[in-house]
Amino acid sequence: MSFDNAYEAITEQNDTRWAFGTGFADPLTGVDTTVPAGVGAADLALYSLMLGDDALIMSHRLQQWCANAPELEDEVALANIALDLLGQARLLLSRAAAADGGGRSGRGEEGRGEDWYAFFRAEHEFRNVRLAELERGDFGELIARLVVFSTWRLAVAQRLGSSRDPVLAAVAAKAVKEITYHRDYAAQWLVRLGDGTQFSRERAQAGLAAIWPYVPELFTAHEVERRLAACGAGVDPAGVRGEFDGVLAAVLSAATLEVPDVAPRAGVAGRTGRHGVHTEAMGDLLAELQSVARADPGATW
């Protein structure tokens, strides 16, 4: 396992250490995925997809920063955050698959695991909030988005740690540790940009303005989220608004930035990301995310 040079390392025969392609072991192997009594299996599956899709789509946007970040350290940081979110997505999509066993036909005899959910669903079947999918902007927009996303997700995950579903509780408890670092990273950058030069401050403020219309959606519970919260398995995001506002006030104050005064971006007849109604950016994102797997649906590599 030690090599004289990188070429030897990547050309090693029968190497199983490289993390790409499909064909990973199910991350829930050996975990009891029985749906707890009193929790609807279909609701639990859909709720797991919502949280999993948030992570998957945000991770994809972060991955697009590879080779585009301002410094090597930030390149590495964004890739790490994307990797943590991808890991959360894998567990949550696998949780959805286990709760939703059977039903619609899968992609073959292996059935529907995490890959099926990531690569073979259509746009309207993705339940992520629209904030995650928005077109990649500049670094100011990225940092504003990451502060908002991490603060919101951390507050939800912390409460989800006491879910009646032991799988969701375990995934959330681990996610809390990871997202705490994501939020600190993003918040420290927002302070640096906002309290930096005139130019960086303008970009940070513009970044906040670009994403702020999508903030109210984060706290608008879908009926499935309300039902899951009512039976103790999920979290009603409306309940974390106060904590979110408190954290954002502290960060923005240190950054000498202001809460943007912009109108919320409405959905279609009140339907937004949680209902599968997305922005124009989502189609392009999914085309990139899914095209290789769809080109040869049976392939494992």
CB nearer other proteins, residue 78 or residue 134: 78
CB nearer other proteins, residue 166 or residue 297: 166
CB nearer other proteins, residue 180 or residue 220: 180
Cα separation, 175 vs 235, in Å, equals 15
The CB-of-81 to other proteins minimum distance in angstroms stands at 7
Burial class (CB in 10 A: 0-12, 13-18, 19+), 180: middle
Binding site for other proteins (CB under 8 A): 1-2, 16-19, 24-25, 27-31, 73-74, 76-77, 79-81, 83-88, 90-91, 154-155, 158, 166-167, 169-171, 173-178, 180-181, 183-185, 187-188, 191, 243, 246-247, 250-251, 254
CB nearer other proteins, residue 88 or residue 205: 88
The CB-of-120 to other proteins minimum distance in angstroms stands at 21
The CB-of-190 to other proteins minimum distance in angstroms stands at 9
- b/e code 54-64 from CB counts within 10 Å (16+ = b): bbbbbbbbbbe
CB nearer other proteins, residue 194 or residue 227: 194
Q: Within its chain, how far is the Cα of 301 from the centroid?
A: 24
The CB-of-225 to other proteins minimum distance in angstroms stands at 20
Please write down the HEC assignment for all residues of 185-248: HHHHHHHHHHCCCHHHHHHHHHHHHHHHHHHHHHCCCCHHHHHHHHCCCCCCHHHHHHHHHHHH
